[in-house]
Structure 1
Amino acid sequence: MEKPRERWVGREAGPIVRPYAMTRGRTRPRGVVVDLVTIVVATGRTPGDRVWLSREQRRLLELCRRPSTPADLASETDLPFRVVQILLEDLHQYGLVEVVPQTDPDEQTDRPDPRILMRVLDELRRL
């Protein structure tokens, strides 16, 4: 008697796809790094004939019509954050989304002094 093939199926999700299958085997971004709170917005350009977008990339592009953060996009699409990060990087390389810088590099003076942070950490460890 032949043993039935094992299928990875989520009760509500249907067949489960491994994250690296959606990112073509990549596990880390290579180019522009998109963090949790980076603002991403669609440029309005259409993908050319040579650009093939996955269903997930088309959904992200649709959601990026209004400015969004990758954290919101991951929540809205039920995709792991790292997958969203890599797919957004692809869309950025295709010129379909734009990453909006959060702060001006000249405005880095409001950061706390690392010595104070270390002192606070030492005091917390004492507790």
Structure 2
Amino acid sequence: MSGRADDPDVSLLRPYLMTSGRTKPVDHTIEIEAQVMTSNLGATSVQNLTFERRDIISLCRRTMSVAEVAAMLKLHIGVARVLVADLAALGYVVIRRPEAETPQDLRMIERVIRGLESLR
């Protein structure tokens, strides 16, 4: 293994290390649109955290979604969910869940699907 950041072996190993090999968050119900906000405990403990966890605490001083956290830190969404769930379990962030009812408007659902497909 060459150890370079653009080495495929390194890029696959890094997410594994960030999550301690876990692929499922401790709270598997965290939605990607859930809003994440740094708690008082997180703000005062940020220096004690490592790398991406510290970055998440710093980013979430301004409320943002799990998906935004993943995009801003260039993390796979699954890795971001694991890290955010860990931080929430420790009390470093607060998660606010979406309260909106699932829309029943078929036309809107179709527009969302077309929009998601266009992102490929």
- TM norm structure 2: 0.70
Quickly say closer, same or farther: Cα 1:96–1:32, change in 2 above 3 A: farther
- Name 2:2's counterpart in structure 1: 7
Give the residue type in structure 1 aligned to 2:55. R
Rounded to whole Å, the distance in 1 between the matches of 2:56 and 2:103 is: 33
Calculate the aligned-residue CA RMSD, in Å.
2.8
What are the Cα deviations for residues 75-120 of structure 1, in whole angstroms up to 9, with x where unaligned?
Answer: 111111111111101110110111112116xxx4x6429xxx9xxx
Partner of 1:125: none
Higher helix share: 2
Name whichever of 28-37 and 87-96 sits farther off: 28-37
Distance 2:71 2:103 in 1: 29
* DSSP 3-state at the match of 1:30: coil
Equivalent residue for 2:80, pick from 78, 81, 84: 84
Tell me, in whole angstroms, the C-alpha distance in 1 between the residues paired with 2:85 and 2:57. Answer: 12
4+ residue runs over 6 A deviation: none
TM-score (norm 1): 0.66
User: What residue number does 1:23 align with?
Assistant: 19
Q: Is 1:72 aligned to residue 68 of structure 2?
A: yes
Q: What is the CA deviation profile of residues 30-75 of structure 1, one whole-angstrom value per residue up to 9, with x for unaligned ones?
A: 2253222111111121339xxx522100000100101101111111
Structure 2 residues not aligned, in runs of 5+: 110-120
Identity %, equivalent residues: 28
Alpha-carbon distance between aligned partners in 1 of 2:31 and 2:2, rounded to the nearest angstrom = 34
